[in-house]
Amino acid sequence: MGAERSYSRAAGIDLGKRGLSVCIRTVGGRGAVKLEEAVYTTMTSQILALRDRLEAARVQIVVMEATGDYWRPVFWILSGTLPGVQVLLVNPAHVRILKGRKTDRRDAAFLARQAAAGNLAGSFIPPEPVREVRDLTRRRTGFTTARASEINRLEKTLEDTGIKITSVISDITGATGRRILAALIAGKRDPRALAALADARIRASAAELAEALTGRFTSHHGYLVADHLEEIDHYTGKILALDARIAELLDSDDQRRDIANLSTIPGIDTLGAQIIVSELGHDMAAFPSPGHLASWLGTTGGHNESAGVKRKTRPADGNTAMRRILGVAAFSVMGHKGTYLNARYHRLRGRMDSRKAQVAIMHDMAIAIWFILHDKVPYRELGADYFIRRDPAKIRRRIAALAHSIGATVDIHDQPTPATT
């Protein structure tokens, strides 16, 4: 919700790649409204000129839409050089103008009018140290994705040769896979000699390895495989360098504590905790409650009600990086048996599909993240038997109903509590 305050001097900025449409809205002594419209380029000198004009007009609030990345230089300059002026970056979905009346000039005037009425709330923008780490974690994610794609291309090239090495070796870029690929590139073709290069811990037998390594591997394939491996090594080196830089920036005691606490959530490892900290920071002041954070992440359902009729609606898109890491963690929860989240997932699967159950687990994780970062405590595991302990009478009724459905009756008695010495 927007701030409950009106402003007599407000400005709206419609952003573009090359130009800025600006509207300065001022209210006179008798309530007369004056609109001053202008167009600036996105060059730094023009943004500074806009800053000087806003300062001369004694603007109290400036609002702009989060359009692509075009907002960044404008927002950083205005928010850093206009003391006492509230500079807001707003979600475009919250300030949509009527269809058929949309122009850059009208967009700027509309933003200025909404800002003057106090109807807009600014987007969450973490402080600069957090943004620096966020840039690095997002870049690392991009390199990790690119490396995985290159490994898939390597496997596709090997499929063309008829060599089924991926059927017997789980990691083609591991030590065994590298030795075999290096031998193939060097010109060795004997399946038995290639199988002898495998590590003794490989589960496949020598005969199975030799059969999988029989194919039509040419010098052309050798060139392609060498090129794939070079690209994979390039991405691996970039990822390791970013790992070191991120660890360097997250080296304070408070940061290490938050990362360690977040890593106690099932499905969240150290890399995932670093991403969470880089996207949210260490201070939950921007999110007054766990529900605010869950809503910002897009893990809560939307609302669409008219004339008393509620219609289905999809959640907000949320933060892409956070939704990715929470989605992976929620999916991995299925393998964390004996945990509360695993029990809740299977409980939800009884009445909804797997995708909705996964989003519900993401919501629970978002709530846990808020408390971990707000209270500076590790994740508290409730246990797989939480739902049984919460309402044992309900379990008794369910057992009795199941017995009745097959024509039987059961008599349930509580076990006596063992005496303590």
Tell me, what's the pLDDT at 100?
Answer: 53
Summarised one tens digit per residue, pLDDT across range 311-357 is 776 666 778 899 999 999 999 998 888 899 999 999 898 888 888 89
Q: Given phi > 0 = left and psi -120 to 50 = alpha, else beta, which region is 239? A: alpha
pLDDT of the residue at 391: 80
Percent of the chain with pLDDT over 70: 93
- CB 379 within 8 Å of CB 267: no
Q: Return the minimum-mean-pLDDT range out of 68-72, 126-130, 167-171, 393-397.
A: 393-397
Residue range 13-53, pLDDT digits in tens: 999 889 999 999 999 877 788 999 999 999 999 999 999 99
Residue 2 — pLDDT band, cuts 50, 70, 90?
A: very low
- Give the model's pLDDT for residue 416: 67
Give pLDDT tens digits for 137-154: 999 999 999 999 999 999
Confidence of residue 4 (pLDDT cuts 50, 70, 90): low
Strand pairing class (19-27; 86-90): unpaired
Helix, strand, coil % (nearest 5) of the chain? 55, 10, 35
Domain spanning 9-116: which CATH class is it, in words?
alpha beta
Of 58-72, 220-234, 294-308, 346-360, the range with the highest mean pLDDT is 220-234
Tokens encoding 236: 């691996």
Domain boundaries, the chain: 9-116, 129-249, 253-375
Q: Give the pLDDT confidence of 251-295 residue by residue, as tens digits.
A: 999 999 999 999 999 999 999 999 999 999 998 988 999 999 998
The pair of three-digit structure tokens given for residue 40, joined into one six-digit string: 């600036």
Q: What is the pLDDT of residues 349-399, one digit of tens each?
A: 888 888 889 999 999 999 999 999 999 999 999 998 888 888 888 888 888
Distance CA 22, CA 105 (A): 7
